[in-house]
Every structure is written in structure tokens, then in C-alpha cells.
Chain A
Amino acid sequence: MIVEFHYHIPWRSLGHHPGHHPGTQSGGGFEFRGLLPFTSQPDPRHLDVRAMIADPTQALMVKSFRQRAAIPVYLLADLSASMGFAGKTALLAEFAAATAWSAWRTSDPFGFFACDSQIRWDLSLPLRLHKGMASELSAQIRAFTPKAKNALGLLEAATLLGRQRALVFMVSDFHFPLGQIEALFNALVRHDVVPVVLWDSGEYENLPRFGLVELQDPETGQRRRLFLRPSLLARIRQGFAERRAELTQICIRYGREPFFLLDRFDPDAMTRYFYS
């Protein structure tokens, strides 16, 4: 089932298309913008009698209102090899479907960029009013096996988002160097970026309790043998907690704190993220 969440932006959109978000265009709406002489906006429905009485010149005055605007909603998805871990692509597909559906319900156009070392156009969607995300795309993402060595396609996609300020959901596990994260935020500085940190508890919580494991990094190809034991597991958990704090700090510096998508997607938590 495709779920829906509600989002909200703390800035005014310069967009012309009517929508659900605060805009700058005057037009039909409920947000009082100011008084205008009747000649500049000859709409007798909006004549303001009190303002005309108060005006010493007795000129005809009309109220003007701000029109609510639509904003572009983008989802930049990291599909580098590290996202192939356990059920991460499935969770990504679920989240992407929910975002697309929510954008449609908010009557915002939605665009999807799947990025590994470059943009995967076969898995991407142009900015359109999609009624939900095409279900086959969701299935494709779910079935996709990420193999790329890095997520530099995200940087490339950041240049393709247009000049109009957009709401950008950036879904990644952020398992790349901090410098790269900062470069990405700098490339997206024009937009309102919601970092969505997608982790699987198998990465840090549900590891085997005891024994020797041989781990391989799908991106670098490195192998490492670990002797898992309670003390090491505690250190791994602590490492992820530190990473979480670090990511939060960086993301706040660039606008928003990150949303942590761990194991399952709760749309209400996403809504609370925007409204609290």
C-alpha cells in the first residue's frame, strides 16, 4: 500500500503554478497582501469599503491576496553499491512511491533521479505531475542491484534541478566522506534539501553476536575479517551513533536536520518531521 505524508516549506515559492505552498504571486487566495488602487486591479469583488472611508482622497481601493503556489519536489536517490545492503533498495522504493504519491496529492510536480556513479536515466522520472510513481519503476528499483563504486551521479543531478527553488529529498546512506557530503550540499544550496538517511539495522544493530566474519565492501572491494564479540559490537554501535551526530551537525549547517529512515518507513514520522 502506498502511504502518504504531508510536507510543508518555511519559504515562499516564486512559482507561477497554483498549489498548496506559500507563494509570492498575487491572485486568488486567503493571504492578505495589501491594498491597491482599483485601477491597478479592477476587481470590484475585492473593494475594501473601510479602506476607502479611511482614505482622505476617497479613492477606490481593492484588497489584493497572495496566490498559493506549487513547488517542484525532487527525489535524489543514491543507488551506489552500498545501498545494495539487505533491504535498502526495497525501503528506498517504498519511500520513493510514498513521496511521489504525496507530491501528487499536494498537486506538486515530482521528479526522480536515480544516481550511482552517474545518473541512471532508465530508472529516473522527469519533473511532471505524476499520479504516484509508475508502479513498474518502484518494482524496478526494488529489483535493482546496485553495483557502482560511488554516488557521484548525485552531484551531476544537482545541476539539473532547475533554477526554481525546489524541495529535494536526498535519500542515501551517506556512507561517503564528509567532504563529498559538503560538496553535495553546496551544489544544492539553492534548494530546500531534506536529507533522508537510510540505514539498515543489520549494519550496526543486528550483527551476529559472536564469531569470525569476513566482510567485503562492495564499493571499494576491500575485505576485512572481523572477530565479532560484544565489545566490538558496542564499538560499532557507538561508531554509528557518532556518525549520526556528525551527519546531523552537517545537515543542520546546511538547513535541515536529517530524517533517519531506519528499517521501515513511518509516514507519520515524516509528517511530524515537517510540522514540528
Chain B
Amino acid sequence: MSLAFAQPWALLLGLLAVIPLFKRGQPTLAYSSLARLPEDPLSLWIDWSLRVLASLGLLLLALGIAEPYLREQWVEKIGTGAHIVLVVDRSSSMNENFSGTYLGGTAHETKSVLAAKLLAEFVDRRGQDFFAVVAFSAAPIYVLPLTQDHEAVRSAVLALGGRGHGITNIAPGLAMALAHFSAQPVTGSRIVLLVSDGAARMEPETADALRQQFQDHQASLYWIYLRNPKGGKLAEAPKNPNESTTPEYYLHQYFQSLGVPYQAFEADNTLALQEAITKVETLENHPLKYRQKLPRQDMSGICYGAALVCLLALLAGQILEVNT
């Protein structure tokens, strides 16, 4: 609990609070002799409470102007979740549905919309997890850092259901996803969840750098491959292996050689996609210790509110005053 002031100089205004204790605002009536009047405890009490209220009101206003706030705080929490980076393909092929037809305007059946919807549900179910979101097509797009703000993650994921553009370029997306883990202590399992419907050729240097980063960050990789039913399976070697015609097969091979836990899920229809996501969910459930940052809290509203109460009481006193 640490209190600080945004405008500490305004506290000087609080000195003005002594004025109502000694000075009176109401015009006086001359009365021949106060000794003739009976002692009245209620009047005395009202008199002092009005003075103290005026003083208190001024103090609170000064305090409000000074804008007190509680400093940002770290709270230690223990969850059973993981750090999950969602790496989602936004290439133009995601605008198709599973049968390979381009649907255009009726986007609710496209792969991207389906993936977004199912991922959003996934995010909703994993209340303890941290999520980061990276979208990629030709270049990666930084969407969200690792956060537990599920509302933001959900919105970000749903926004990925929009129309995709460009080609599939996985490597930079993965690199950006792994960058989320750097400068963070290893507090639980780290997952890169790649959702894409294809792959592209990867330069050997990039591939080596990625392998190194995967090992450095001890991140596991899950690939949900949204397969075109006519396309080749990951496990079967194509008839004429060529990295430019069947890059998925080679990417699968490469991922298996990463030296970190890796699993691929092939989904060629909505149900399969749902199953794949459920599987990922059951796989990662290790306890996780993490610290959460609470933002600083502005306390000036409380001061103004209390000052308002004082001022309203003073106003009531003013209304009760006899006009002369």
C-alpha cells in the first residue's frame, strides 16, 4: 500500500482549511447580551460541526486536486495455465472453406472465421492462461503481448476472422512469437500454437535460427494444419518431393527436428479442427507461478466524493440560516 500524489504542490492549498475554524462566513446579528441566552449544547455542536465540515471539505478538495493514487503493484498468483502464443495465418488462402472454394462475402464459413471462432472459445475455456497473438501473412503482425486480459485476447482473435491477404510466410511469424518469451522467466509451459493452412519454403539460415530460439525458450510447438482435403498429408511423403510444391511435408519434417515437444494436428473439416483444439487443451495443464501487475489506482475521486458530502452538509447549513 503505497500512496503518492500526482500534484503534491496542491497539498499547500490544504493550509487554507484553518480559515473556517477561525473565520465565520455568516453575517452576524447584534444581540444585546449573550449572557442572557441559555447554553445550548445542540447549537454548540452544530456550530463546531459546521466549522469542522468546512475545514474538512477544503482539506479534501486540496487532497483531490493533489490527485493521490495507489502505486502500481505486483500480485503473485498461481495458475494452472501456460503461456500460449497464437500464431494465426492471415494469408488469402484462409478466405477459402475446407473444400477449397473461395467464398468471399459469406465469410462465416471460411477457414479464418472458423479458426477465429474456435480459438476464441478455446481462449474462453483457458481462464488461467496467458495469451499472446501474432498474425502473419507475408509479414508478421504484432497483435497482443502476453496478457491475461481475456477480453482483449478474445477480441483480437475474433478480429482475425476478417479477410486475409497475401502469401503464407511462417518463419517471421514464428520468430515474433518466440520473441514474446524472451526477457521472461520460465514460470510454466510455453506453447506456440500455429494455425495455418499451408507452408512456405524456409531458408536454411532462418531455419537454424528458429531452431536455436525454440531450444533457448523451451517452447513447445503445436501446429494445427488446416488441410485442403485434396492436399497431401503431413505424414505421407509426397510422390515427387519438392519443397516448392509440397512445403507442408518439409515443414513437418523440420518441426520434428526442432528438439522441442512438437505435435501436428491435421484438420480438414470443422469437426477435425475442433478436435485438434481440444487435444491441445488437454495436453497443457501444468501449474504456473506468475506475477500480475495491478495498475495504479486514482484516489482523487474518493476525495472529491467525500468533499461533496461535506459541502452538501454545509449547503444544508446555509439553507437553514436566517436571512436578515
Q: Is the interface of A mostly helix, strand, loop or mixed?
A: mixed
Residues of B within 8 A of A215 (CB): 28-31, 34, 37
Chain A 220-251 per-residue mask, 1 if CB under 8 angstroms from chain B, else 0: 10111111100010011011100100000000
Q: Which segment, of A5-13, A135-143, A163-171, A206-214, faces chain B? A: A206-214
Contacting residue for A235 out of B38, B46, B50, B324, CB 8 A: B38
Closest residue of chain A to B31, judged by CB? Answer: A215
The B-contacting residues of A in range 180-223, CB under 8 angstroms, are: 200, 203-204, 208, 210-220, 222-223
Q: Which of B28, B40, B322 contacts A232 (CB 8 A)?
A: B40
Is B40 touching A214 in the complex (CB atoms < 8 A)?
no
User: B47 an interface residue at 8 Å Cβ cutoff?
Assistant: yes
B27 contacts the other chain (CB 8 A): yes
Asked, given contacts A239-B37, A240-B36, whether A216 binds B43 with beta carbons under 8 Å apart, the answer is no
Interface residues on B, range: 20 to 34
Q: Mark A76-111, 1 if CB is under 8 A from B, else 0.
A: 000000111100100000000000000000000000
Residue A175 at the B interface, CB < 8 A?
Answer: yes
Q: Is the CB of A223 within 8 A of B28?
A: yes
Q: Is B2 an interface residue (CB 8 A)?
A: no
Residue A4 at the chain B interface, CB threshold 8 Å: no
Interface residues as binary, B303-324 with A (CB distance below 8 Å gives 1, 0 otherwise):
0000000000000010011101
Residue of A200, A204, A225 with highest tally of chain B CB at under 10 A: A225
Kindly state whether residue A116 has any CB partner on chain B within 8 Å: no
- Chain B residues with CB under 8 Å of A208's CB are 322
CB distance from A205 to the nearest CB of B (A): 13
Q: Known A214-B26, A216-B29; judge A222-B46 contact (CB<8 A).
A: no
- Min CB gap A239→B, angstroms: 5
Contact with A along B12-36 (1 / 0, CB 8 A): 0000000000001011111111111
Chain A nearest Cβ from B15, distance in angstroms: 23
Q: Which residue of A lies closest to B318 (CB)?
A: A212
Q: How many A-B residue pairs have CB under 8 A?
A: 97
CB-CB nearest in chain A for B322: A211
Measured between alpha carbons, how far is A219 from B40 in the docked complex, in Å? 21
CB-based contact B43/A85 at 8 Å: no
Which B23-77 residues sit within 8 Å CB-CB of chain A? 24, 26-38, 40, 42-43, 46-47, 50
Q: Check if A175 sits within 8 Å of B33, measured CB to CB.
A: yes
In the complex, the answer to whether A227 meets B46 with C-beta atoms within 8 Å is yes
Chain B residues, CB < 8 A from A82: 32-33
CB of B50 to closest CB in A, whole Å: 8
Interface pair B32/A211, CB less than 8 Å apart: no
Q: A218 contacts which chain B residues (CB < 8 A)?
A: 30, 32
User: B residues engaging A (CB < 8 A)?
Assistant: 24, 26-38, 40, 42-43, 46-47, 50, 317, 320-322, 324
**A interface residues with partner B (beta carbon < 8 Å):** 82-85, 88, 173, 175, 200, 203-204, 208, 210-220, 222-228, 232, 235-236, 238-240, 243
Jot down 6 A-B pairs with beta carbons below 8 A, ordered by A.
A212-B322, A213-B26, A214-B26, A222-B34, A236-B37, A243-B36
